[in-house]
Amino acid sequence: MGDFRDWWHSHRPTARRLAQLYAALLYNANLKGFVEGRIFTGDTKAICVPGMNCYSCPGAVGACPLGSLQNALNASGHTAPWYMLGILMLYGILLGRTICGWFCPAGLIQELLHKIPTPKVRKGRVTRGLSHLKYILLVVLVVIIPVWYGLKHGKPLPAFCKYICPAGTLEGAVGLLSNPRNSTSFYQLKALFTNKFVIMVLVGLSCVFCYRPFCRFLCPLGAIYGLFNRFALTGVKVNLNRCNGCGACVRHCRMDVRSVGDHECISCGKCMEACAQGAISLKCGKITLKGPEIGKNADPEPVVQRRRRVGRILWGIAFAALAGLLIGQNVINPPRPAAVAEPAAIEEPAVQEPAATAQPVEAAIGANVGDQLPDFTTDLIGGGEFTLSAHRGQVVMINLWATFCGPCVEELPYFDQLRAAHPDMEILAIHHATGAKKAEKYLADKGWDHLDFAKDSKEKGLFDLVNGSEAMPQTIVLNPQGIVIYNAQAPVTYEQLEALYSQAAAE
């Protein structure tokens, strides 16, 4: 028993490690998303969490501030994205890069990988030089390219998320594609995904040998928060009356700091452990969150005990709040069975043969090829309603899309052109629930007048009705009897749409 107590005393998680684990679970409280293979689209998704946590992670209940900033800049035109700038300023002034050290899941993953026993790279002139790279990425990939692309093309391009972010690759792409429900989405795994996957693997491997390399060299979010470190309310503070200038704090710090609390400091507290003078504390304004408890200039025992009591109370409140969120998110609203769609053609979304027994009376109700799609009614953007049964006797195409989906936006003109060429058919384009509020403004000047547009929501469940998911675009084709002859998640060309129309009309 004594051996176990000794082991636990030396291996028990620190307050910072508990805070990191807590933040990771809090940000990803939608555990049922991993079962369903879906992205949560509730109201909390409009709120940015402080740390880097991919919006597309199946468990994410909030948005990533870095991705939200890029999308805001994409859509800003000549108007500054005040909401996102305000959120980042609020987090920066309150916490600075303390967020990186205490509340970022990406930082936690890097630190756990660094625990693997191998020779480690020491910091020095080279790593300090590389630490400036994240500021270049911030300016180029987060600011310049999204603003330029949004103004020039009117389409979103969150460049850092799309081309670099290993957190997005791990949490979003791998998190979604590992679920059987999204097995038809592997057509998207082209050169871009391969490049991002390689970047993720390289960053992961470098974490084993180098302490938090993504935070130190690549993370634009850390670069933003670092700009606030000097005047952030929370962070490590030095008592100059006690400091003797020995420099032990900087030598023992594993980040590329030049002084305690500068723009590279993540307030991890290693400098506090190294300071023999007891000159460093973690503070929030005038409140000491963590101070020297042993050695020279240690805080008095009554102060330490009072601080620990307050800490236990706050931790109790925090864990009760987390438990309530987890229960409400996953127990009160339990996961739905994941419907696995039929595999789609990967190389060429060729016209699928209808099921031999696909007759209106005998067909099963569903969204797979050969099924009869159930009737539904939805309101249209711009007014009016769409009722599926009202179009019996016509070829009907349903397209699932979103403004933030590049391939979706590129193929919509093909649908408009097809509808103009065949006025006897009907095409309904349904926008994903995420970002649906912006769809009407986005469509205002596109000139796609031959299409009917609708917006999905959690209440409508239109995507669920047709076996849709976050992997877009997706096209569903119904013959005049309402039988599904094609349902696949893949971009289509105009020629493919013509072929699908001809097949459906022939039946």
Please answer whether residues 411 and 400 qualify as being in contact, where contact means their C-beta atoms are separated by less than 8 angstroms.
no
Looking at residue 203, what is its pLDDT?
97
**Rounded average pLDDT per 10-residue block, the chain, 507 residues:** 66 89 95 86 85 92 91 66 88 96 96 96 94 96 89 80 93 86 68 91 97 97 96 93 92 94 94 91 91 79 88 93 91 60 40 43 81 93 92 94 84 94 94 83 85 90 86 90 90 92 90
**Structural domain ending residue among the three candidates 232, 253, 285:** 232
Range of the domain at 99: 17-232
CA distance 38 to 59: 8
Looking at residue 12, what is its pLDDT?
81
What's this model's pTM, rounded to 2 decimal places?
0.76
Asked whether residue 267 is assigned to any structural domain, the reply reads: no
Asked whether residue 500 is assigned to any structural domain, the reply reads: yes
Q: Which helix (H) or strand (E) holds 191?
A: helix 191-209
DSSP string for residues in 359-420: -TTTPPBSSSTTSBPPP-EEE-TTS-EEEGGGGTTS-EEEEEE-TT-HHHHHHHHHHHHHHH
> Virtual CA dihedral for 294, 297, 302, 306, nearest 10 degrees?
-80
Asked whether residue 281 is assigned to any structural domain, the reply reads: no
User: What is residue 12's three-state secondary structure?
Assistant: coil
Asked whether residue 314 is assigned to any structural domain, the reply reads: no
Asked whether residue 466 is assigned to any structural domain, the reply reads: yes
Asked whether residue 101 is assigned to any structural domain, the reply reads: yes
Looking at residue 494, what is its pLDDT?
93
Output the six-digit token pair for 171. 């949490």
Asked whether residue 414 is assigned to any structural domain, the reply reads: yes
**Structural domain ending residue among the three candidates 232, 248, 279:** 232
Looking at residue 356, what is its pLDDT?
40
Looking at residue 2, what is its pLDDT?
61
Looking at residue 151, what is its pLDDT?
80
Looking at residue 338, what is its pLDDT?
42
| Number of separate domains in the chain | 2
Cβ neighbour number for residue 258 with a 10 Å cutoff: 11
Looking at residue 26, what is its pLDDT?
96
**Structural domain ending residue among the three candidates 191, 215, 232:** 232
Q: Integer distance in angstroms from the first to the last C-alpha of the chain?
A: 77
Asked whether residue 361 is assigned to any structural domain, the reply reads: no
Looking at residue 362, what is its pLDDT?
65
CATH assignment of the domain containing 489: 3.40.30.10
Measured in degrees and rounded to the nearest 5, phi and psi for residue 218 equal -125, -20
